[in-house]
Structure 1
Amino acid sequence: MTSSSPAGRIPAPGARGLSRRSALGLGLALGGTLALPLPAALADGGGPSGSISDVRPRPLSVRGSGHEVVLQGAVTVVVGSRTDPTARTALIDLLENAGARARAVVADSAADLVSGPRIHLGTPEDNPTLRAELEAAGVPGPEDLAADGYVLTTGRNRGPVLTLAGRDARGTYYAVQTLRQLLGGGARVPAVHVRDAPRMEIRGAIEGFYGIPWSHQARLDHFAFYGAHKLNTYIYTPKDDLLLRSKWRELYEGEELEKLAELVETASAHHVSFTYALSPGNDITYGSDEDFTATVTKFEQLRELGVSRFYIALDDIPGDLDEADSAQFSSLAEAQAHYLNRLQEDYVEAHDLEPLQTVPTEYWGSEPSDYKTVFGESTHPDLRIQWTGEGVFSPEVTEESVVAAVESYQAEHLFIWDNFPVNDGRRDRLFLGPLEGRAPTLHEHLAGFTSNPMIEPYASLIALANYADYCWDPISYDPESSWRAVLDELAGAEESVRHDLRVFVDLNVRWPYRDDSPIAPGLSADVEAFWSAYDAGERGGQELDQRLRTVVGLEESLAPMASQGFYQDTLPWIVAAGRWAKALLAQLEMLRALAEDRLGDASEAAARVGEHLAAAGKATVPDQREDGVLREDQIVPSVGDGVFEDFVSRAWEELRAVSPEDPSLPFRGLPATASTTLETYRDHTPESMADGDLSTMFWSDGAPRVDDEIRVELEQARPITFARVQMATSDTTAGDQIYEGALELSADGESWSQVATTDGSPVLEVTLPSAQEVRFARLRVTEENPDGQWVQVREFGLGETAPAT
């Protein structure tokens, strides 16, 4: 849905139960081998324990019970014959991990119970002992709670007793997840009555981005994370799974079918609803019996694997009907409604499945339109309809906007496809800041949210934990608290790792679709403090120096973090940040030498900057485009939100002012104005091509056509011997640029001479054999770009002399 340009097996519950790897009582194995402990506090006596403040999502209601429970020695787990086996297995493993000797018994009534520490688990319908224990504790049962709700209470009744009563099977499982957090790796359960249920029905993720689909293992690990954080939905629709989109009529077979079966099985094991989303809109005939049959056949293959939720994705497709549909329907919305209704009535309802879900072609904006009106009036009222907010990316989702959207779409079951933290439009970036800007009252109007995460699955866990907290209870959701909690979870218990993870995340918090999103706030503050001291003639910058040294060491210091998946996902950005930090440390040395008139030392330090900047500009991130081919080292990781680049530019100015001929200084073109025939993406205006600042750039908002150009104009004609165009985001790696173009010079803007052509690299430069009178220079497109790539230009400069090498 978002912009495609500017980039061990777990058995299902049952007779076999859950493998010990999958049992959440042992922690979440994310990224391979290391578990994810949740933040724990130390209780007085009895060893380590969690506290109610550690539980996330925050429970809706908590009060004291007067009786704590210590789960040591022999503990009896009382279940019913139909108690959820997943919750039962997770509880037994949790107790054994805490050092208890767990024994499960199936009891038909309270009279069957033995004395001693025990836990009653299940729903009132499947475990007849629960009502008596809840009555003894003076606690209402879970029957009046929303779906997925539960009651957890401690008390005494012929010995210490803990009651975990779910509203349903998922609620029973969630009660165990809350107990896991309360224990915090220890054996003591605080004296609490917890009564809890989500305010939103749908809580989860939609893998709906362009680019490299998540790995099979990453999806399995995500399901474990979702279960622990009480997320209940996963929608499978990666844009670059060809069997979902361009080859949607073809069936799965072999290994791919086996993997899907395991995904469905594992999602169910963690009480995550696996939703299969097909994207047929690029070439479907909506009124065709053949295409309806192809859809049903595909769905039936997934239903045989256990899928009960299906979805038709109609986003990012042509808005025109083919000849056959044009003869049958008056509009795209009418044709789509016919197709969706037929699926809902003739397939979904016929097989007693969950209601069909969809995202319409016009999926943004709350204002009415002809499409929305026809789509809303014509589609089946049970359909679940997704919407992204006022824009494709929505910095805020307000109650007013949602109410208007519900009315415009006439949707009884609207839920949000939230394009945060997805990065397929900025594949060089990580978006690691907290979820913000979602009103606390949206649960009154929406069925829920699914986040569209990043291409990097484990780096997306920060935002997904925020969504889990927000969707469970938007009223109490606190972005900062939720964000810090998941950072600590991913880091692990070691405080130094937690500190260094925050230092890294600080470099990646800005979300460019929100104007007031912070820009590397910690780094920015230290940089500002340094320049204030420097301008005052003082030797400051100790905090900046320390931060940069921490950044240089992140590759080593974050290696033992709890989530190895997160570490591996973000390693290219960790390494790039270290290279930028090395460049800034060399510039700090240069600046201090300049302040003390040690020009030789300043020049020596300046000479080291270039190698670090070149290393930081190397492409180290893989990518996958429309051809479905994975290619290594395609993208230059961007960190620091421009703060590193701004510091480098300012430091070079300080050196230029004192020693303008220093060979380490980057080339600066003569003063010029810049223009282009291309349209501009956001605030990346043409002026950035000629401002002498490599940290800024012009960026087109589409691919160039033949004879499009970028141009610079000097104040008057000058004798020019050198020209350089620096495109893409790095001098070393091709990206958004002009791939086939001619560099042409002119004295009058009418008569042009060609002096060079592009060769596919991001830098085009030429030294003329003799000076040429030039006022105008242009790089003119001679062939269209491959894969529809856009154009970025950091600098377009002309010089009377070639720069030193």
Structure 2
Amino acid sequence: MAATANLPPLRGVIEGFYGTAWPTELRSLYATWLAELGLNCYLYAPKADRYLRRAWTGHWPDGEWRLLRSLAEQHRKAGITFGIGLSPFSLYADYSPVQRGRLQEKIERLNTLEAPFLAILFDDMPGDQTDLAARQADIVADCLAWSCAERVAVCPTYYSSDPVLERVFGARPRGYWRDLGAALPEQVDIFWTGDRVCADALHAAELDAINAELRRPVTLWDNYPVNDGAARSRHLYLEPPPMRDADNLRGVTRGHLCNGMNQPRLTLPALAGLASLYDASLDRHGWLAETLGNATYASLQRDARLFRERDREQLLEHNGQALLQEYDALATPAAREVVAWLRGDYTFDPACLTD
């Protein structure tokens, strides 16, 4: 594993949400889109892929595995760092020799993808056990020994200071972040979402304290524009990431990845905004107009605040038919994603949280 200091900061997209995963053909297009935007990373970690989470000990069926191999190759050819996010569900609660052997088998299988980035994700799992940091560090140490990836990242169980995590997943063990930071090798990146799971703002001053505990600059898992939850699924987020000061964030982070929406093309305005945070010369409006269609992008710009502030039900009640007719008439792939969202194709299903 290469030293993180010798590798460029990762900036790009995470397919890391619950609910409807992206179609394979759209994932392939992202290799081109990310390169055109000057971004450099695609982390494949959809919660709907059971072979990365609940059924992590199993292997993908042959057809799905071939598609995953092809996806890794397409991104490699485009110069994009392709990553796999493995969530070995609650493995730290029973890291027996049998389970350890299963993990080794999984990592060795993933090695055949030749993906340069491996993320071990302990997010959204029960965490109230006193030796949580030590057990997770043991798992990561084994993954480092077995993996061929040039860089490895970890998502802690408590990946934000947001109180909601303790309400849902149990009390955070005393000293968890300090102990995890001390136990993980310095070159391992650690994900952080901010002071909230879906942070309204990300400021350098707020990251200094967690960086000190984790003994390294965090890598931002920015939960913008993600819209997979019960409340956020009622909205579309079509603007650049808000209140992110890239000039200051550069010095206190190792990377910045945005978790996408369930709608892959409608995620592009936020990603173009991410790219322009770090490269002011990027003509994001021109790129978006060309990629999404001039008329479609103009409509999305006009409606961005409306879609952010009013939920889908309110829109349908007040001017839903007019919006449906307009976007249906545009007949572009991005416009069709708006139509599908308005019609309820992406309605939040609580069952997705237990997949």
TM-score band (shorter)? 0.7 to 0.9
- 1:468, 1:511 → 2: CA distance? 27
SS in 2 for 1:316: coil
Contact 2:13 2:260 in 1 (8 A): yes
Pair 300,342 (structure 1): closer, same or farther in 2 beyond 3 Å: closer
Residue of structure 2 equivalent to 1:449:
256
1:556 Cα deviation from its structure 2 partner:
4.9
Amino acid in the other structure paired with 1:429? H
SS in 2 for 1:427: helix
1:361 Cα deviation from its structure 2 partner:
0.7
Amino acid in the other structure paired with 1:421? P
Contact 2:54 2:88 in 1 (8 A): yes
1:566 paired to 2:334: yes
Q: TM-score by structure 2 length? A: 0.83
Kindly report which structure 2 residues correspond to 1:275-294, keeping only aligned pairs within 5 A, or say none.
Answer: 275-285=83-93, 287-294=95-102
Residue of structure 2 equivalent to 1:555:
327
Residue of structure 2 equivalent to 1:385:
190
Amino acid in the other structure paired with 1:459? L
> Which residue, 383, 390, 395 being the options, matches 2:200?
395
Q: Deviations over 1:387-434 (max 9, x none)?
A: 0011111111111112222102122x5210000000011222211122
Kindly report which structure 2 residues correspond to 1:398-417, keeping only aligned pairs within 5 A, or say none.
Answer: 398-411=203-216, 413-417=217-221
Amino acid in the other structure paired with 2:160? W
> Which residue, 236, 242, 246 being the options, matches 1:430?
236
Amino acid in the other structure paired with 1:424? D
- 2:298, 2:135 → 1: CA distance? 55
1:418 paired to 2:214: no
- 1:333, 1:444 → 2: CA distance? 26
1:334 paired to 2:120: no
Pair 340,549 (structure 1): closer, same or farther in 2 beyond 3 Å: closer
Contact 1:337 1:379 in 2 (8 A): yes
Contact 1:366 1:408 in 2 (8 A): no
Pair 461,502 (structure 1): closer, same or farther in 2 beyond 3 Å: same
Contact 1:212 1:624 in 2 (8 A): no
SS in 2 for 1:433: coil
1:259 Cα deviation from its structure 2 partner:
0.7
Residue of structure 2 equivalent to 1:360:
156
Kindly report which structure 2 residues correspond to 1:694-733, keeping only aligned pairs within 5 A, or say none.
Answer: none
- 1:365, 1:358 → 2: CA distance? 16
Amino acid in the other structure paired with 1:567? A
Amino acid in the other structure paired with 2:211? V
Q: Deviations over 1:615-668 (max 9, x none)?
A: xxxx5314575766xxxxxxxxxxxxxxxxxxxxxxxxxxxxxxxxxxxxxxxx
1:320 Cα deviation from its structure 2 partner:
3.8
SS in 2 for 1:205: strand
Residue of structure 2 equivalent to 1:505:
304
SS in 2 for 1:295: helix
Pair 549,215 (structure 1): closer, same or farther in 2 beyond 3 Å: closer
Amino acid in the other structure paired with 2:19? G
- 2:57, 2:296 → 1: CA distance? 48
Residue of structure 2 equivalent to 1:745:
none
Residue of structure 1 equivalent to 2:345:
621
1:360 Cα deviation from its structure 2 partner:
0.5
1:372 paired to 2:171: no
Residue of structure 1 equivalent to 2:21:
213
> Which residue, 248, 253, 259 being the options, matches 2:67?
259
1:226 paired to 2:31: no
- 1:387, 1:308 → 2: CA distance? 21
- 1:441, 1:449 → 2: CA distance? 13
Q: Deviations over 1:251-289 (max 9, x none)?
A: 123101111111111111211111111111335546423
- 2:152, 2:49 → 1: CA distance? 21
Q: Deviations over 1:303-353 (max 9, x none)?
A: 2122232111000101145xxxxxxxx511111112212322x223xx4x3
- 1:499, 1:280 → 2: CA distance? 43
SS in 2 for 1:243: helix
- 2:324, 2:152 → 1: CA distance? 50
- 1:359, 1:313 → 2: CA distance? 5
Contact 1:240 1:626 in 2 (8 A): no
Pair 620,445 (structure 1): closer, same or farther in 2 beyond 3 Å: closer
SS in 1 for 2:39: coil
Pair 498,627 (structure 1): closer, same or farther in 2 beyond 3 Å: closer
Segments ≥4 residues shifted beyond 4 Å: 283-286, 366-369, 547-553, 622-628
Amino acid in the other structure paired with 2:220? I
Amino acid in the other structure paired with 1:407? A
- 1:281, 1:565 → 2: CA distance? 35
SS in 1 for 2:234: coil
Mark the runs of 5 or more structure 2 residues left unpaired by the alignment. Answer: 164-171
SS in 1 for 2:118: strand
Kindly report which structure 2 residues correspond to 1:731-750, keeping only aligned pairs within 5 A, or say none.
Answer: none
* Higher RCO structure (Cα 8 Å, ≥6 apart): 2
1:372 Cα deviation from its structure 2 partner:
0.6
SS in 2 for 1:297: helix
How many residues align structurally? 334
**Bigger Cα displacement from structure 2, 441-450 vs 291-300:** 291-300
Residue of structure 1 equivalent to 2:49:
241
Contact 1:423 1:429 in 2 (8 A): yes
Kindly report which structure 2 residues correspond to 1:571-650, keeping only aligned pairs within 5 A, or say none.
Answer: 571-573=339-341, 576=342, 620-622=344-346, 625=349
- 1:464, 1:231 → 2: CA distance? 9
1:209 Cα deviation from its structure 2 partner:
0.8
Residue of structure 2 equivalent to 1:269:
77
1:310 paired to 2:114: no
1:468 paired to 2:275: yes
Kindly report which structure 2 residues correspond to 1:536-555, keeping only aligned pairs within 5 A, or say none.
Answer: 551=323, 553-555=325-327
Q: TM-score by structure 1 length? A: 0.38
SS in 2 for 1:447: strand
Pair 511,147 (structure 1): closer, same or farther in 2 beyond 3 Å: farther
Kindly report which structure 2 residues correspond to 1:744-759, keeping only aligned pairs within 5 A, or say none.
Answer: none
> Which residue, 201, 204, 217 being the options, matches 2:12?
204
Instruction: Judging by fraction of residues, say which structure has more strand.
Output: 1
Residue of structure 2 equivalent to 1:492:
293
Contact 2:154 2:191 in 1 (8 A): yes
Mark the runs of 5 or more structure 1 residues left unpaired by the alignment. Answer: 1-145, 149-199, 322-329, 513-518, 521-526, 528-546, 577-618, 629-786, 789-805
Amino acid in the other structure paired with 2:176? Y
Pair 623,551 (structure 1): closer, same or farther in 2 beyond 3 Å: closer
SS in 2 for 1:290: helix
Q: How many percent identity over aligned positions?
A: 26
Q: Deviations over 1:343-400 (max 9, x none)?
A: 22x223xx4x313211001111399961111111111111111000111111111111
**Bigger Cα displacement from structure 2, 258-267 vs 365-374:** 365-374
Contact 1:433 1:511 in 2 (8 A): no
Contact 2:340 2:346 in 1 (8 A): no
Amino acid in the other structure paired with 1:237? A
- 2:72, 2:298 → 1: CA distance? 37
SS in 1 for 2:14: strand
Contact 2:328 2:336 in 1 (8 A): no
- 1:312, 1:297 → 2: CA distance? 15
